[in-house]
A = this chain, B = another copy of it.
Amino acid sequence: MTDISNSLSGALTRIAGEVDACFDAMLPVPDDARKRLIEAMRYAAIGGGKRVRPLLCVAVAEMFGVSRDVAVRVGCAIEAIHAYSLVHDDLPCMDDDDLRHGKPTAHRAFDVGTAVLAGDSLHALAFEILGAPDIVTDPVLRAELVMTLAGASGSAGMAGGQMMDIVAEEQSFDLPTVTRLQQLKTGALLGASVEMGAILGRVPVDARTPLRLYAHDIGLAFQIADDLLDHEGDEALAGKALRKDAKAGKATFVSLLGPERAREQAQALITQAIGHLAVYDHEADLLRALAQFVIERKK
């Protein structure tokens, strides 16, 4: 696994630089009264995060010969949605967090109104990227990408999961409901990242099943790992407040399964995710390494 791990580390560094460069180019700071908005968008989008979603999209797209430049731009659309969701989730009316990626949250660094608008503008930016004819030239693909990303981020996806997460503070969820919550809140966008790579690669719908199963499994494992980090992680390393779920009395994989079983479950899911990739040869090695990374990360 050493070779794969090395190449994963290189791949993570590379995609981080590409995503930053892409946002930097798309968000020049204007010399007018919109300046604060664009600065807040840049603050939220540039220089933070593991960029797992763009890397998933690019890794899948490259398996099918898609130009890296195109895949990175599409990955940035996904990351714009992820970045907007973090800005809004951190708001005082939501999780009320002061720290994200080791620096003050957007509403702390700017103000709450600007943070709401910066989130909204990153949300729109995602679809500006996908709709632009100079990035993905085939409109059939553009339309399919839009449908996939919008569906994954709206009320039947990420935002729906976030609503369930708010309700989780008021109700005691059982394991199936927590699983559904996390599938929407985190899994939907991770799934869309893989799906959008496959769309770019013109993989026929019925040939996408292994990739979809892979995405489903790593999505759940990702969230179990998040719960474990929240339970036992290092705040300084994570760059955000931890132990919040327990304080809020929220049911999580860890509170329902205990840390040991949760850890076993995450590893079982990753083994299963890698199993789905058996139909592919070395071209899927990055996806295999990413699967393991998802549960071994420290932030």
Please report A residues at the B interface, Cβ cutoff 8 Å.
27, 32-34, 36-38, 41, 84-85, 88, 91, 93-94, 111-114, 116-117, 119-121, 123-128, 130-133, 139-140, 142-151, 153-155, 157, 159-160, 162-164, 166-168, 171, 173, 177, 180-181, 184
Contact = CB atoms under 8 A, between A and B. Distances in A.
5 contacts: A32-B180, A34-B184, A38-B155, A93-B116, A131-B150
Contact of A132 (B33, B147, B168): B147
B124 A155 contact: yes
A177 B33 contact: yes
Given A91-B113, A117-B163, A139-B142, 19 more contacts: A33-B167, A33-B173, A34-B164, A36-B167, A38-B155, A85-B120, A88-B117, A91-B116, A94-B116, A113-B166, A116-B116, A119-B120, A120-B154, A125-B150, A125-B155, A127-B147, A130-B146, A131-B143, A131-B151
A86 to B, nearest CB: 12
Nearest to A159: B121
Copies in the complex: 2
Interface of A, helix, strand, loop or mixed by DSSP: helix
A71 to B, nearest CB: 18
Contacts of A164: 32-34
B121 A154 contact: yes
Nearest to A119: B120
Contacts of A41: 155
Contacts of A88: 116-117, 120
Contacts of A38: 155
Contacts of A145: 131
B150 A120 contact: no
A33 B181 contact: yes
